[in-house]
């Protein structure tokens, strides 16, 4: 896992959505509080040049596209999952 991706990221696909993605050297924890429900997923993260493979401990494997950008002076992690783009900022 590149050091520049490690740490806590907050955001999501829509305004006001409370998603959190925490990346460590080889693991991830992804949580969300959306509407009346919440969920949590964790497992192993394998990062490539433009993709992140999430190997969940309890569910299917996911392949996400990613890139880092500077948006209005803030480092922003852009993730594309199943054609839906999300933005996360450090938090």
Q: What is the pLDDT of residues 38-72, one digit of tens each?
A: 889 999 999 999 999 999 999 889 999 999 999 88
CB 88 within 8 A of CB 71: no
Q: What is the CATH number of the domain that holds 64?
A: 2.40.128.280
Helices (H), ranges, the chain: none
pLDDT at 15 over 70: no
Minimum mean pLDDT range among 6-10, 13-17, 56-60, 87-91: 13-17
Tokens representing residue 24 in the block: 């460590």
pLDDT confidence band for 16 (50 / 70 / 90): low
Residue span of the structural domain in which 80 resides: 3-90
**Nearest of 63, 53, 49 to residue 26 by alpha carbon:** 53
Q: How many domains does the chain have?
A: 1
CB 46 within 8 A of CB 55: yes
Tally the residues of the chain.
91
Round to whole Å and give the CA distance between 75 and 54.
Answer: 22
């Amino acid at each position: 896992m590149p050091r520049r991706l490690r740490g806590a990221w907050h955001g999501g696909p829509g305004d006001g959505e409370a998603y959190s993605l925490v990346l460590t050297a080889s693991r991830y924890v992804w949580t969300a509080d959306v509407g009346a429900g919440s969920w949590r997923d964790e497992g192993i993260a394998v990062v490539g040049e433009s993709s992140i493979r999430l190997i969940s401990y309890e569910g299917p494997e996911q392949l996400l596209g990613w890139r880092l950008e500077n948006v209005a002076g803030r480092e922003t992690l852009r993730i594309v999952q199943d054609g839906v783009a999300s933005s996360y900022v450090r938090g």
